[in-house]
Amino acid sequence: MKIMVTGGTGYIGSHTAIELIQAGHEVEILDNLFNSKESVLDKIAEIAGTRPVFYNCDLLDYAKVLEIFQNGKYDVVLHFAGLKAVGESVEQPVRYYENNITGTVNLLKAMQETGVSKIIFSSSATVYGDAGAILSEDSETGHGITNPYGQTKFMIEQILRDICVADSTFSATVLRYFNPVGNHPSGLIGEDPNGRPNNLMPIVMKVATGEIPELSIFGNDYPTEDGTCKRDYIHVVDLAKGHLAALEHMKPGFVPYNLGTGKATSVIEMVKAFEEAAGRPLPHKFAERRAGDLPELCANPAKAEKELGWKAEFTVADAMRDTLKFLGKE
Ligand code: NAD
Ligand code: UFG
């Protein structure tokens, strides 16, 4: 298939592009390089053998997006492009709504205009808001979302539902990621955000390299075994393979899947796993709770296993090993 990957030079998009190319698909990438580097394309080529055609394009530039789609004749779109920093979205809501919502609407318009009726969308466990600690696809969405970033994911899901109502041939597969971690085992590509990171693993990486003196663990008085928050950390290569499985099983309608492992790990356990893999301590301290954090979030991944035949295979220890390999190659 000929596949347009928006946000394909980013962290999850680049790992997915590799899996798609290795499975024999033709991949083109559109990205404005806001949070990624063009050199990732060479790394994709080194690993997968083909350098994807690249368009340096902002989804907000509708005329350019339309032109790319008119020339591209894509079978399907994998839509990763978006801004994703939760805290920043609270400070800059208009920017987040414009980039994520208007950008997606532009993409959907270009798809409609050029007869592309299949999209796989990068959603997030954040759409479940405060629905509970263990989440299935039929858990409630949209209630208790605490930030504009999460709202954009929920709103885009709603837009996709509406399109599927209007057009019974349209396929919208929505992948709700839990916490992506790790890197490609080659060590050639990995999570490499521009600017100061917000998520746990990019911060752990910067502590490991000495760029940040120590990790602040946000809260150790949560109702969990060791008092720190628990999350479902999924290796990014498992996540990427989940997209391939989803692509192979696409069907008309709005179809959500959780992509997670079904196992929750605490922040302290993550620190220990890193220390074990690295063979040295990771400087850390306990700090105040971070606003909006829930004690525990974990996927029930049964639907993806049953319908897609996909299951996460890597462990947190694998993710730490690959992270160290990526750091060594930097
Ligand atoms: P990333 O920032 O590494 O990749 C996103 C890419 O989109 C970047 O390369 C960025 O330059 C590009 N982009 C942003 N706005 C754009 C625009 N207007 N036009 C063109 N390109 C644009 O992030 P990621 O971690 O790879 O995340 C990919 C997707 O998965 C995002 O939609 C994100 O919200 C979602 N997601 C990520 C996580 C996570 O923890 N990483 C969790 C759940 C969902
Ligand atoms: N954490 C720390 N110190 C840090 C950074 C994070 O202790 O410096 C802790 C957090 O408190 C949390 C855990 O590490 O308990 C994971 O935090 P992340 O910021 O890495 O991830 P979140 O679970 O908060 O958020 C992630 C994605 C969001 C998505 C959400 C859905 O980043 O995009 O999952 O559940 F919306």
106 lines ligand 1 (CB under 6 A): no
What pLDDT is attached to residue 198? 85
Q: Name the pLDDT band for 183 (thresholds 50, 70, 90).
A: very high
Which ligand has the nearest atom to the CA of 204?
2
Contact 80, 13 (CB under 8 A): yes
* Token code pair at residue 29: 């990438």
Q: Does pLDDT of 135 surpass 70?
A: yes
Higher pLDDT pick, 198 / 156: 156
81 lines ligand 1 (CB under 6 A): yes
Atom of ligand 1 nearest to the CA of 60: 18
- Sequence-distant (6+) residues with CB within 8 A of 326 are 183, 184, 187, 188, 189, 190, 191
Ligand 2 geometric centre to CA of 198 (Å): 8
79 lines ligand 1 (CB under 6 A): no
Which ligand has the nearest atom to the CA of 64?
1
Distance in angstroms (rounded) separating the CA atoms of residues 269 and 271: 5
Q: Quick check: is 149 catalytic? A: yes
Residue nearest to atom 4 of ligand 1 (CA): 10
Per-residue pLDDT reduced to its tens digit, 204-234: 999 999 999 999 999 999 999 999 999 999 9
Q: Does pLDDT of 330 surpass 60?
A: no
Q: Name the pLDDT band for 292 (thresholds 50, 70, 90).
A: confident
Atom of ligand 1 nearest to the CA of 81: 7
Which of 123, 224, 290, 298 most suits a substitution to test ligand 2, by most atoms within 8 Å of the C-beta? 290
Q: Name the pLDDT band for 87 (thresholds 50, 70, 90).
A: confident
Per-residue pLDDT reduced to its tens digit, 90-103: 999 999 999 999 99
Which of 216, 267, 294 most suits a substitution to test ligand 2, by most atoms within 8 Å of the C-beta? 267
Higher pLDDT pick, 81 / 86: 81
218 lines ligand 2 (CB under 6 A): yes
Rounded-to-10 torsion of CA 20, 174, 313, 260: 150
Which of 84, 94, 160 most suits a substitution to test ligand 1, by most atoms within 8 Å of the C-beta? 84
Q: Which of 55, 74, 128, 149 is catalytic?
A: 149
What pLDDT is attached to residue 16? 98
11 lines ligand 1 (CB under 6 A): yes
Ligand 1 geometric centre to CA of 36 (Å): 9
E-only strand ranges, 161-316: 171-177, 179-181, 215-218, 230-231, 233-235, 253-259, 265-266, 284-287, 298-299
CA 130 vs CA 5, 145, 146, 294: distances in Å: 31, 7, 9, 8
Q: Does pLDDT of 142 surpass 80?
A: yes
In terms of DSSP H, where are the helices of 174-292? 200-208, 236-248, 267-278
Which ligand has the nearest atom to the CA of 107?
1
What pLDDT is attached to residue 197? 87
Ligand 1 geometric centre to CA of 81 (Å): 5
CB atoms within 10 A of CB 150: 23
What pLDDT is attached to residue 329? 43
CA 143 vs CA 84, 131, 232, 255: distances in Å: 19, 7, 20, 20
Q: Name the pLDDT band for 192 (thresholds 50, 70, 90).
A: confident
Q: Does pLDDT of 73 surpass 70?
A: yes
pTM above 0.85, yes or no: yes
- Sequence-distant (6+) residues with CB within 8 A of 53 are 27, 28, 29
Residue nearest to atom 12 of ligand 2 (CA): 229
